[in-house]
Structure 1
Amino acid sequence: MTHPSPHTAHSAQEHDAGDLSELLDLDAEVLAGHLASLVARLPVTDTPRHLLDLGCGTGAGTFALLDRFPRAEVTAVDSSPAHLRRLHEKAAAAGLADRVHPVAADLDAEEWPDLGAPDLVWASAALHHLADPERALRRVRGLLAPGGLLAVVELAGFPRFLPADAPAGAPGLEDRCHAALDRRHAAHLAHRHENWAPLLRSTGFDVEAERTLAIEPGRGPQAPSDREAVARYASSALRRVREAVAAELTPRDLAALDALLDPDGPHALARRNDLGVRTTRTVWAARPTV
């Protein structure tokens, strides 16, 4: 299979509206231990050699899979040129360029490029973005090598970082931001909170395992300990939230959010000592029905 270079395929594209590179890199940095624990618990029966990462972003799943399976190669698929460029840079810097094959593709397109016959397909925070995830799952079923495994991973929305009573001038701010974000997403992300087990079964899979893992401050090997990295992650995430919901916030809430996001202000996120990452990830592991 021939894998196009992201630098060649996307050199004419100067702007990528879907660029979440900074946020995705911070998520990978802060939650590396959590992601490693997810990958470690996958119910693999044989050592996979050909891995497929659908909606790979900047490679958090790609590199976690390569750490777990050091003899494998990953075909990493994303529709964002910026994400694929960043993935290529990270793979080269880690000496893994020969094991990571970026492919530009829209998973909602009528046709997919040749993605081979993977032993393991990883789809993290990807399926809920699709207009027709049922069609995508049927395609994955057709791609998988005999006995292959599909792992679907979804987050329970954007992570939360502040205590419930913060900030002092607008307690509960983050809850209100998330409620506004949920209303916005409901209009165009119909599968955002999907229970994927029924759809997996209806598209020809047996669900072998379903597991929900919580991320909470200071708990478990997946808990982030780097305060500065958590602050950067919170800042990047809350900037994205502000872009999406500013028009729905009250003046008081918007002012409180801006105060948190002002890196030089007295209420900046980086000055807080009570930040933490709270969210959950659910993993569905499935194999094609025999």
Structure 2
Amino acid sequence: MAHSHSTTHHTAAAVTAQAEILDLDAEILAEYATAIAAWLPVQASPREIVDLGSGTGAGTFTLLARFPDARVLAVDSSVDHLRRLHDKACATGVLDRVHTVTADLDAADWPDLGTPDLVWASASMHHMADPARTLRKVYDALGPGGLFAVVELAGLPRFLPETAPADRPGLEERCHAATTGFHAEHVPHRGADWGPMLTAAGFSVEGTHTFAVDMAGERNPAIGRYALTVLQRVRHRVAETIPAEDLAALDRLLDTGSPHSVLRRDDLALRTERTVWAARRAD
């Protein structure tokens, strides 16, 4: 359930920041990833799994835990993300069940995925330059009766109440609204309904389910760090477009040494959604 950028090239700093978000997402939302994996309508416990756009491995380790006899091929464009995944596999003693492949899934030549029983793509499909092509590639790779799980999010999570901050209420929503144009240009398929596209690629969609998250900050102290990293990313997108008063208020939230820092708020809550489509190769 990571926000995996399978196809985008980043600076080193951006890759590191992205990895931090992926790791926090995996830590905080582990129970939801587990619930999604448990929901999947597998016909038999899969033995060969592909994690497509694996990021730092949230899906990989969820699937290894859910299917203890399976091996996972983790595919991502980021060498740094895959190195982190490899290190986690070493630390948790499952390296013999994990293989990593660095690949740009928008390139003409795809890596050999074998004949997987299950392909998992969490928050990666909306980054594909040509999603229809990717869906056809997955269809061709799957074994007969194989399952494709597409897990997607409508957008970045929210953390602040509508009344916050006191001097600029509604700040978070205005900041997210200001990113609409950027996302429409760069990730136009984010928030899409993948059902019709899966059907067009030949899949039979067997189920769709949305998992809603509303987790109070006191439940997990990492939510503050997650809010900080997400809002830092949002600031990068909106600094030139939001009013000066909003930017100043956002900077106060991001100033970790300030009493107004998001890390010091006791009213944070993580609000987000994950929708999963389970699609089977028809033949």
* TM-score tier (shorter): over 0.9
C-alpha distance 14-92 of structure 1, shift in aligned 2 (>3 A): farther
The alignment's C-alpha RMSD in Å is 1.6
C-alpha separation between the residues in 2 aligned to 1:115 and 1:22? 27
Residues 150 and 286, structure 1, Cα contact 8 Å, conserved in 2: yes
Is residue 2:261 matched to residue 1:263? Answer: no
C-alpha separation between the residues in 2 aligned to 1:57 and 1:133? 18
The match for 2:6 is none
* Deviating more after overlay: 186-195 vs 228-237: 186-195
C-alpha distance 40-89 of structure 1, shift in aligned 2 (>3 A): same
Give the secondary structure class of the aligned counterpart of 2:159.
coil
Give the secondary structure class of the aligned counterpart of 1:277.
strand
C-alpha separation between the residues in 1 aligned to 2:151 and 2:180? 19
C-alpha separation between the residues in 2 aligned to 1:267 and 1:65? 39
Residues 144 and 282, structure 2, Cα contact 8 Å, conserved in 1: no
The match for 2:124 is 126
C-alpha separation between the residues in 2 aligned to 1:95 and 1:217? 30
CA drift of 1:15 comes to: 3.5
Residues 31 and 224, structure 1, Cα contact 8 Å, conserved in 2: no
Is residue 2:92 matched to residue 1:94? Answer: yes
Q: Percent identity?
A: 58
The match for 2:171 is 173
C-alpha separation between the residues in 1 aligned to 2:167 and 2:90? 46
Is residue 2:75 matched to residue 1:77? Answer: yes
C-alpha separation between the residues in 1 aligned to 2:129 and 2:144? 28
The match for 2:3 is none
The match for 2:40 is 42
CA drift of 1:224 comes to: 8.1
CA drift of 1:217 comes to: 2.4
CA drift of 1:18 comes to: 3.9
Q: Return the letter of the residue paired with 1:111.
A: D
Among residues 274, 278, 286, which one is paired with 2:271 in the alignment? Answer: 278
Give the secondary structure class of the aligned counterpart of 2:187.
coil
Q: Which string of whole-angstrom CA distances, capped at 9 and with x for unpartnered residues, describes residues 219-276 of structure 1? A: xxxx9821x2000111111111111211111111111111111111010111111111
The match for 2:4 is none
The match for 1:3 is none
CA drift of 1:17 comes to: 4.7
C-alpha separation between the residues in 2 aligned to 1:147 and 1:239? 43
The match for 1:9 is none
C-alpha separation between the residues in 2 aligned to 1:15 and 1:159? 24
The match for 1:214 is 212
C-alpha separation between the residues in 1 aligned to 2:51 and 2:180? 26
Give the secondary structure class of the aligned counterpart of 1:123.
strand
The match for 1:4 is none
The match for 1:30 is 28
The match for 2:150 is 152
Scaled by the length of structure 2, what TM-score is found?
0.93
C-alpha separation between the residues in 1 aligned to 2:133 and 2:274? 23
C-alpha distance 190-147 of structure 1, shift in aligned 2 (>3 A): same
Is residue 2:57 matched to residue 1:59? Answer: yes
Q: Return the letter of the residue paired with 1:225.
A: R
C-alpha distance 36-137 of structure 1, shift in aligned 2 (>3 A): same
Give the secondary structure class of the aligned counterpart of 2:257.
coil
Give the secondary structure class of the aligned counterpart of 1:248.
coil
CA drift of 1:289 comes to: 2.0
Scaled by the length of structure 1, what TM-score is found?
0.91
Q: Return the letter of the residue paired with 2:183.
A: H
C-alpha distance 119-199 of structure 1, shift in aligned 2 (>3 A): same
Give the secondary structure class of the aligned counterpart of 2:186.
coil
Give the secondary structure class of the aligned counterpart of 2:279.
strand
The match for 1:225 is 219
Matched pairs, number: 273
Among residues 249, 252, 268, which one is paired with 2:245 in the alignment? Answer: 252
Residues 30 and 224, structure 1, Cα contact 8 Å, conserved in 2: no
C-alpha separation between the residues in 2 aligned to 1:154 and 1:277? 17
- Structure 1 gaps, min length 5: 1-12
Q: Return the letter of the residue paired with 2:80.
A: A
Is residue 2:134 matched to residue 1:108? Answer: no
